[in-house]
C-alpha cells in the first residue's frame, strides 16, 4: 500500500525498506540458517514448528528443501560442539597425590566422591537410554521428545539451565545461539571511514529524539 501512496516521501522510504528486506530475506537461500536454529532450540517449537512455518512461507516444495538444509546445518553445528565439549568436559576424580594431601578433609572428600558417583550413574543411564550412540544421539533425543506447552511466560533460558544435565552439549549450543543479539550494525557502517549521512528522516526528528540518539551514539 505504501508503494502506491500519493506521498512521494513515503514511497521512497518504503522502497528503500523493501530493498533492504530483499537483500537479507528476499530469497530463502540468502537467509542465515542460524535464525531457524534458534526456533528449533525453543522447546515449544522444535522442528515441527519450523517445518510448518517454512512450508507456509515458501510453499511445500521449497519449504521441504529448506527444512532438510536446516536439519543438516543443525547436525553439523551439533557435531562441532560435540568435538569441543565431549572431551575433558566431565569431572575427573582427584589424583593420588591430591587425595593424600587432602586425606584429613574427609567430609569434603565424601561430598566430591558422592558427586562423582552421581555423575557417573547419570552418564551411564543416559547411554543406556540413548543406546550405543551415546552423546551423539543427544540431539535426536531432544527432537523426539514432546514439545513444551506454549506460554508467553515461558523462560527458554531457564529451561535450558534446568535441563543442562540431560543435554550437556546441546545446552552449550543453545546458550551461544540464544545469546546472539537481535540487532547489529551493518558492516558498511562499522568499517566506514566516512561520517554518517543525515537523511531527511533523521533531520525531521524532534530535539528530544536527537538528544537521545546522540547519547547512545546512534
Residue 205 lies in a domain: yes
Residue 167 lies in a domain: yes
Domain holding 188, by residue range, is 183-217
112, part of any domain: no
Q: Looking at the domain assignment, is residue 59 inside a domain?
A: yes
For range 182-188, the mean pLDDT: 60
pLDDT digits (tens, 9 = 90+) for 26-63: 677 777 788 889 889 999 988 888 888 888 888 888 88
Q: For residue 81, is it within any domain? A: yes
Q: Are residues 47 and 83 in the same domain?
A: yes
Buried b / exposed e across 55-75, counting CB within 10 Å, b at 16+?
beebeeeebeebbeebbebbe
Q: Kindly state whether residue 172 falls inside one of the protein's structural domains.
A: yes
- Establish if 97 belongs to a structural domain: no
Determine, yes or no, domain membership for 143.
Answer: no
Distance CA 123, CA 118 (A): 9
pLDDT of residue 112: 47
| pLDDT above 90: residue 160 | yes
Predicted local confidence at residue 163, as pLDDT? 93
Q: CA 206 to CA 35: how far, in whole Å?
A: 35
47-61, 66-80, 114-128, 181-195: least confident range: 114-128
Amino acid at each position: 500500500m505504501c508503494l502506491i501512496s500519493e506521498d512521494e516521501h513515503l514511497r521512497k522510504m518504503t522502497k528503500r525498506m523493501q530493498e533492504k528486506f530483499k537483500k537479507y530475506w528476499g530469497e530463502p537461500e540468502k537467509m542465515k540458517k542460524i535464525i531457524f536454529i534458534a526456533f528449533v532450540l525453543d522447546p515449544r517449537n522444535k522442528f515441527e514448528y519450523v517445518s510448518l512455518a517454512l512450508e507456509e512461507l515458501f510453499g511445500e516444495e521449497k519449504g521441504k528443501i529448506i527444512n532438510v538444509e536446516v536439519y543438516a546445518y543443525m547436525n553439523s553445528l551439533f557435531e562441532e560442539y560435540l568435538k569441543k565439549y565431549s572431551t575433558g568436559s566431565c569431572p575427573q576424580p582427584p589424583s593420588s597425590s591430591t587425595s593424600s594431601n587432602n586425606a584429613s578433609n574427609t567430609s569434603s572428600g565424601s561430598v566430591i566422591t558422592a558427586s562423582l558417583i552421581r555423575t557417573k550413574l547419570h552418564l551411564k543411564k543416559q547411554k543406556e537410554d540413548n543406546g550405543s550412540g551415546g552423546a551423539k544421539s543427544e540431539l535426536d533425543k531432544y527432537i523426539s521428545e514432546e514439545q513444551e506447552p506454549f506460554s508467553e511466560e515461558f523462560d527458554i533460558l531457564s529451561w535450558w539451565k534446568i535441563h543442562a544435565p540431560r543435554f550437556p552439549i546441546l545446552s552449550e549450543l543453545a546458550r551461544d545461539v540464544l545469546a546472539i543479539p537481535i540487532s547489529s550494525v551493518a558492516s558498511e557502517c562499522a568499517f566506514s571511514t566516512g561520517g554518517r549521512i543525515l537523511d531527511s528522516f533523521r533531520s525531521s526528528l524532534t530535539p528530544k529524539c536527537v538528544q537521545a540518539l546522540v547519547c547512545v551514539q546512534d
